[in-house]
A and B are shown apart, each in its own frame.
Chain A
Amino acid sequence: DAGVIQSPRHEVTEMGQEVTLRCKPISGHDYLFWYRQTMMRGLELLIYFNNNVPIDDSGMPEDRFSAKMPNASFSTLKIQPSEPRDSAVYFCASRQTGTYEQYFGPGTRLTVT
């Protein structure tokens, strides 16, 4: 398996623009997690899905952030409109029920100018 795939790896955008981050989990994994990592706040859980259904979105910072999982092999995290304080590395991770290990993707480094 190729592991968790994220795209793009780097994104530079201007304030006010819409940003869409993409994630393909490992086949057969039924949990999907979106995290954000910054120097100030460390690694924060934004939202997670089980069987494509959002279970806990309490970590989503505000309404400008939205996440979807239309099928078992694809998820998106959208920021609209983006702001400079959204600059961070965004990770996607997946896990299979009955196991403990989360497999992380390589991350998307987002810079909002």
Chain B
Amino acid sequence: SQELEQSPQSLIVQEGKNLTINCTSSKTLYGLYWYKQKYGEGLIFLMMLQKGGEEKSHEKITAKLDEKKQQSSLHITASQPSHAGIYLCGADTGGYQKVTFGTGTKLQVIP
């Protein structure tokens, strides 16, 4: 979606390294979702952010929504091979809970 841009498109990191994925919206976000997808499988919900400045964590994954509510970052600490997959951000920009997804960031973690 042109409304939602993710960067980088792909990422290769050494196991144990930290990494950050960004998601930028051209519109104000009523809700920002992070999902993970493994090849050949459906999406798995990670977390959802609503309030500007909000930060949530799930195991070693932390996501934050900036104050202006137009950008979110997802940070993985001490990456592991199990973190590999495609990370997608999804945005609710209309306040009606219809989610538009970004194009995803493909993460590879090298042991």
Contact = CB atoms under 8 A, between A and B. Distances in A.
Interface in A21-68: 35, 42-45, 48, 56
A4 B44 CA distance: 12
A93 B40 CA distance: 15
Interface stretch (B15-23, B59-67, B68-76, B98-106): B98-106
Interface string B25-59: 00000010101000011111100100000000000
Contact of A91 (B1, B31, B43, B45): B43
A97 to B, nearest CB: 10
Contact residues of A: prevailing secondary structure: strand
A104 B43 contact: yes
B107 interface: no
Interface string B90-111: 0000000111111110000000
14 contacts: A35-B101, A42-B102, A42-B103, A42-B104, A43-B104, A44-B1, A100-B97, A102-B99, A103-B45, A104-B35, A104-B43, A106-B42, A107-B40, A107-B41
Interface of A: 4, 35, 42-45, 48, 56, 91, 93, 100-107
Given A45-B98, A104-B44, 18 more contacts: A42-B1, A42-B88, A42-B102, A42-B104, A43-B101, A43-B104, A44-B1, A45-B99, A91-B42, A93-B42, A100-B31, A100-B33, A100-B97, A101-B45, A102-B45, A104-B35, A104-B42, A107-B42
Interface of B: 1, 31, 33, 35, 40-45, 48, 88, 97-104
